[in-house]
Amino acid sequence: MQNHPTYPRLLEPLDLGFTTLKNRVLMGSMHTMLEDIPGGHERLAVFYAERARGQVGLIVTGGVAPNKAGLALPVGHPLDNEDEVWKHKVVTDAVHAEDGKICMQILHTGRYGYSEHNVSASDTKAPISPFPARGLTTDEVEQTIIDYVKCAQLAQQAGYDGVEVMGSEGYLINQFIVSKINRRDDKWGGPYENRIQFPLEIVRRTREAVGENFIIIYRLSMLDLVEGGSTWEEVVHLAKKIEKAGATIINTGIGWHEARVPTIGTVVPRGGFAWVTKRMMGEVNIPLVATNRINSPEVGEQVLADGCSDMVSMARPFLADANIVAKAIAGKPEEVNTCIACNQACLDHTFTLQVSSCIVNPRACHETELVIAPASAPKKLAIIGAGPAGMAAAAVAAENGHQVDLYEASGRLGGQFNMATIIPGKEEYQQTIRYYGVMLEKFGVNVHLNTKATAEMLTGKGYDEVVIATGVTPRKLDFPGVDHPKVLDYAEVLAGGKPVGKSVAIIGAGGIGFDVAEFLSHDFDHPSVSLSVEDYMKEWGVDMDYERGGSLATAPAPLPSPREVFLLKRSKGKHGKDLGKTTGWIHRSSLTMKKVNMLAQCTYEKVDDAGLHITVAGEPRVLDVENVVICAGQVPLRELADKLETSGIKVQLIGGARNAKELDAKRAIKEAFELVAGL
């Protein structure tokens, strides 16, 4: 047995009897959309090989359907015939060439499919799919099990080291297990024992078909988080039977996709659901994997040290950084580019049918397209502005051999991200500032803080390129009373620390309006950023004692807002409809729990001592508020760029300075990488 001084448990090999994993880190399943596009498997091969080279113990692929009915979208390809095998072989060969191990996840979406051919345990419709599902006939249930087994055999033929049977997150297997969806009167329905026969037969017959020396992971829904979900006793019973049926490892599934409790968003405390797997420890004899919001070697080590599991799963963190394990082995955790759990470039992409990537690492899933080679003719660069775009450009350019001066007018790195870090539940954004800060130092960038770059300062220094990443400034509005002392802009509140009274109206309900509403509806003496796991579960209505099936409490119990908050917008419709596909609902639910008043169709008339005068859908109203905070978007800070251009110096603009309208860190960091790729 090896022992590592810094991560003794995380980096300890795991003996599965017939094979040994290098360490206790599992790269969890993620659908990247590369699975579904021409040439995608070649790109997947490069993506997974890079992670295998990074020493991860075991990789699990995105879900692959065992038949057409199990596809998430009608356009995908199930692994149901030998003609599909070669594509997968491209992936397994690449991973094995790096001495890695890889399992293929088998996923039948059931009623979660986006297709008029959806099937389920009974006739039903999922709240998150527009398409109803038809109940499978008894013969079709048999055929579906046969399809699972055949899919596993084809995966074995394709060279995978094993399969993961997806039995959680509300997909088909879950739909068989809970009685509110499974209303069958044949042998696959009725009592719990009958309802679990579907997954048990899948695992039992798969083991028979693939032999002993093939990994079978079963992803067990340990916490359904939906009404009518399994009780803890039922979950344990199923785990024991799954072990007996032939599973090698049990992975943890937390929450169905339709659950109204955030399970992976950045609001979830790190390692926040490891307690669930811990309840299962000792109930079975095969290794258990803890999941959800484990995003660094430290968190992984802590989960194992706390006796929560035998392995830890990280999925999105491997988009952010292919080398988490290698960096842990090297004892350099400060060099890990940490996943901030924003979902902006991964899940939000998948759910809008775009290839996944990562906000902090735009190369993820684009390894063959966004190629940054070491500079053959190194350049001397001045980069102005040390927000996410400027920091990323400087770090990546210096890593590739360019000589870089980074100028920042303020006294610290991070730009707009510094404001994000103080929003309750967004403290992870600090990690991106830390990571790029470490990279700037590692690659020898000359950082000039408290230095407002001027055209005169930059002229005559021999810069080959000047990159303007000066970002944005809040948009000023123009209506009577806008300069009243009670009116502030978001930067004055978030960065300037200006006090805000007991009642406040926020003008503008975009991403920043939501952030400010979240900030102001928390009590700063007890900020949610430090919510313990117990408080988080209470706030979102999760019963850690598992009194009822699904483990939901009777009601969420959020801490009350310390002030009355109005969140206003001019446009019609739901607040936050343009926020991230997979996170917008979290922000909306959070503000609703805090009783934030959301008003649409507002016209801003004036501000005076009486408050903010508005009309709401034509009806006049005065909001008697102590403060008004303006969050009405931004304008670019381009003054320097304009001056440089008139003095004949070539500049390139990235991030908010280039386009403030759609300012977001995903675009800003991607532009930084693309700029360096083109140097």
Q: How far is the CB of 440 from ligand NAP (least distance, A)?
A: 24
Helices and strands in the chain: count of H runs, count of E runs: 22, 28
Task: Name which position in 571, 597, 615, 647 contacts ligand NAP (CB under 6 A).
Answer: 571
Sign of CA dihedral 24, 240, 126, 141: positive
Q: Is 514 in the site for ligand NAP (CB under 6 A)?
A: yes
User: DSSP 3-state assignment of 130?
Assistant: coil
Nearer to ligand SF4, 133 or 319 (CB): 319
Nearer Cβ to ligand NAP (170/414): 414
Residue placing its CB nearer to ligand NAP in the complex, 300 or 508? 508
In the complex, the smallest distance separating the C-beta of residue 342 from ligand SF4, rounded to whole angstroms, is 4
Instruction: Verify binding: residue 170, ligand NAP, rule CB under 6 A.
Output: no
CB of residue 602 to ligand NAP, shortest distance in Å = 7
Q: Is 471 in the site for ligand NAP (CB under 6 A)?
A: no
Task: Please enumerate in sequence order all residues whose Cβ is within 8 A of that of 653, keeping only pairs 6 or more positions apart, or say none.
Answer: 467, 468, 469, 638, 641
Cβ-proximal residues to 642 (8 Å cutoff; 6+ apart), any chain: none
For residue 54, which of 289, 285, 314, 264 has the smallest C-alpha distance?
314
d(CA 90, CA 44) in angstroms, rounded, equals: 9
Residue 513's binding partner out of ligand SF4, ligand NAP, none, with CB under 5 to 8 Å set by partner kind: ligand NAP
Please identify which residue in 164, 224, 465, 664 interacts with ligand NAP, judged by CB under 6 A. 664
Task: Show the tokens assigned to 369.
Answer: 């397209």
Angle among Cα 581, 583, 587 to the nearest 5 degrees reads 125
| Binds 508: which of ligand SF4, ligand NAP, none (CB < 5-8 Å by kind) | ligand NAP
Contacted by 346, from ligand NAP, ligand SF4, none: CB < 5 to 8 Å by type: ligand SF4
Task: Choose the contact partner of 477 out of ligand SF4, ligand NAP, none; CB within 5 to 8 A by kind.
Answer: ligand NAP
- Considering only the stretches 89-97, 155-163, 495-503, 504-512, report the one whose residues sit in contact with ligand NAP under the rule CB under 6 A: 504-512
CB of 516 to ligand NAP, least distance (A): 9
Query: How far, in Å, CA of 450 to CA of 386, rounded?
Result: 11
What sign does the CA torsion over 298, 299, 301, 305 have? positive
Residue 359 binding target from ligand SF4, ligand NAP, none, CB below 5 to 8 Å by type = ligand SF4
Do 348 and 581 touch, CB atoms closer than 8 A?
yes
CB of 580 to ligand NAP, least distance (A): 5
Distance, in Å, from the CA atom of 289 to the CA atom of 69, rounded to the nearest integer, reads 29
Q: Does 515 bind ligand NAP (CB under 6 A)?
A: yes
The dihedral built from the CA positions of residue 517, 522, 527 and 530, taken in this order, carries a sign that is negative
Distance, in Å, from the CA atom of 89 to the CA atom of 56, rounded to the nearest integer, reads 20
* 507, 612, 653, 676: which one binds ligand NAP (CB under 6 A): 507
Among 267, 631, 654, 676, binds ligand NAP (CB under 6 A): 631
Q: Are 161 and 214 in contact (CB under 8 A)?
A: yes
> H or E segment at 215?
strand 215-223
Tokens of 393: 């450009």
495 binds ligand NAP (CB under 6 A): no
Of residues 633 through 652, those in contact with ligand NAP by CB under 6 A are: 633-634
Of 190, 333, 378, 510, the one binding ligand NAP (CB under 6 A) is: 510
Of the ranges 91-99, 270-278, 608-616, 625-633, which one interacts with ligand NAP (CB under 6 A)? 625-633
Nearest distance from residue 549's CB to ligand SF4, in Å?
30
For residue 171, give every residue at least 6 positions away whose Cβ sits within 8 Å of its Cβ, in sequence order, or none. 107, 108, 109, 110, 112
Catalytic residues: 171
Q: If we measure between CA atoms, which residue out of 651, 678, 653 comes closest to residue 668?
A: 653
d(CA 131, CA 117): 8
Q: What phi, psi does 623 have (nearest 5°)?
A: -95, 110
631: partner contacted, choices ligand NAP, ligand SF4, none (Cβ within 5-8 A by kind): ligand NAP
* Residue 511 is a binding residue for ligand NAP (CB under 6 A): yes
From ligand NAP, ligand SF4, none, which one binds at residue 81 (CB under 5 to 8 Å depending on kind)? none
Q: How far is the CB of 361 from ligand NAP (least distance, A)?
A: 18
Q: Are strands 25-27 and 311-314 parallel, antiparallel or unpaired?
A: parallel
- Contact footprint for ligand SF4 (CB under 6 A): 316, 319-320, 339-346, 358-360
**615 lies in the site for ligand NAP, by CB under 6 A:** no
Q: Does 152 bind ligand NAP (CB under 6 A)?
A: no
662 touches, from ligand NAP, ligand SF4, none (C-beta below 5 to 8 Å by class): ligand NAP
The CB-of-339 to ligand SF4 minimum distance in angstroms stands at: 3
Instruction: Give the count of beta carbons closer than 10 Å to the beta carbon of residue 572.
Output: 8
Output Rg (C-alpha) for the chain, integer angstroms: 26
Q: Which does 360 bind (CB under 5 to 8 A by kind): ligand SF4, ligand NAP, none?
A: ligand SF4
User: Given candidates 249, 340, 509, 596, which one binds ligand NAP under the rule CB under 6 A?
Assistant: 509
Spatial separation of the C-alpha atoms in residues 596 and 566, rounded to whole Å? 6
What distance in Å separates the CA atoms of residue 394 and residue 211, rounded to the nearest whole number? Answer: 52
Q: Does 632 bind ligand NAP (CB under 6 A)?
A: yes
**358: partner contacted, choices ligand SF4, ligand NAP, none (Cβ within 5-8 A by kind):** ligand SF4
Contact pattern from residue 419 through residue 458 relative to ligand NAP, giving x for each residue in contact according to CB under 6 A and a dash for the rest: ----------------------------------------
- Residue 489: closest CA among 468, 466, 472: 472
DSSP code string of 162-188: EEEEEE-TTSHHHHHHSTTT----STT
Residues that bind ligand NAP (CB under 6 A): 477, 507-515, 569-571, 579-580, 587, 631-634, 662-664
